[in-house]
Amino acid sequence: MQQGALGLSSGLAYASAKQATASEVMRLAEVLAEHDGIYTTHMRTEFEAILQAMEEAFETGKHARVPVVISHLKCAGAGNWGRTVEVLDLMETTSQHQDVSCDCYPYSASSSTLDLKQVTEDFDIFITWSEAKPEYAGQVLADIATQMGLPLLEAAKALQPAGAVYHCMDEADVERVLKYRLTMVGSDGLPNDPHPHPRLWGTFPKVLSHYCRERELFPLEEAVHKMTGMSATRYNLLNRGVIKEGAFADIVIFDSRK
């Protein structure tokens, strides 16, 4: 933090961090307040227990006395579709007495390594790469399973290690989170992936073209603010994200009609 770090981030859903207890994360976060830091988290789950995961994140921020940002907020899994109403209600209620917010990318599919716990027939799983069976990259897991003559889970095991795009979200949920007042727009992705998720490079153009111009979720000024000034302020990036005398000239000129 003394060398310029903005805060602490956690990825509690991933194998590298899921063993960390809530109390351990709280202890790590304790140092943030004295440096005006922030706590951001890819929560412990975005599936059925998402509200409990949010409560854990908020409790961590409350303990450390720092702002909390939930990274790429979503309701994942077909059984969870529509629950952004509950999720955003909890966010709004908490925001009345605690500094909390979130970011979101404008896609209804997520991307990561092929996680056997997420293998399901409820939605398409697109395989981006496979070390064991590279010839199957670029196909949907269900089609691969048919070609292999195996059940879905067994086919997934045969591909390991592998990468995947999960079409695990409902579009209405994506829109609901995007237009929420405390949501910043954020890109996400793995640039070294053989088949990167389009959110890596397409996030901001898609917000402007599809969600702002075509869907009219919010006016252009609000869309730009969600991608610039709002996030710069949230992360204490001084003189960024605004056009004013003395600020850094990080200016993008674009045609809003194209």
Q: What is the pLDDT of residue 2?
A: 94
CA 68 to chain centre: 14
What mean pLDDT comes out for the span 196-225? 96
pTM listed for this prediction? 0.94
Q: Which residues contact 54 (CB under 8 A, 6 or more apart)?
A: 43, 70, 87, 90, 91, 94
| 44: phi then psi, degrees, rounded to nearest 5 | -60, -30
**Sign of the torsion angle spanned by Cα atoms 50, 100, 191, 206:** positive
Q: How many CB atoms lie within 10 A of CB 12?
A: 21
Q: What is the pLDDT of residue 179?
A: 98
Whether residue 72 contacts residue 107, with contact meaning beta carbons closer than 8 Å, is answered with: no
In the numeric block, which tokens belong to residue 244? 């004013």
**Sign of the torsion angle spanned by Cα atoms 180, 234, 11, 24:** negative
What mean pLDDT comes out for the span 64-87? 97
Q: Which residues contact 99 (CB under 8 A, 6 or more apart)?
A: 61, 66, 67, 68
CA–CA distance, 133 with 136 (Å, rounded to integer) = 6
Q: What is the pLDDT of residue 29?
A: 98
Q: What is the pLDDT of residue 258?
A: 79
Q: Which residues contact 202 (CB under 8 A, 6 or more apart)?
A: none
Q: What is the pLDDT of residue 195?
A: 82
What mean pLDDT comes out for the span 57-80? 97
Give residue-wise pLDDT tens across range 200-211: 999 999 999 999
Backbone angle region of 34, left / alpha / beta, with phi > 0 → left and psi within -120 to 50 → alpha: alpha
On the 0-12 / 13-18 / 19+ scale of CB atoms within 10 A, 219 is exposed
Q: What is the pLDDT of residue 257?
A: 84
Q: What is the pLDDT of residue 15?
A: 84
What mean pLDDT comes out for the span 148-176? 97
Q: What is the pLDDT of residue 16?
A: 86
Q: What is the pLDDT of residue 190?
A: 82
Cis preceding linkage at 161, omega within 30: yes
pLDDT of residue 135 exceeding 90: yes
User: Could you give the percent of the chain with pLDDT greater than 90?
Assistant: 93
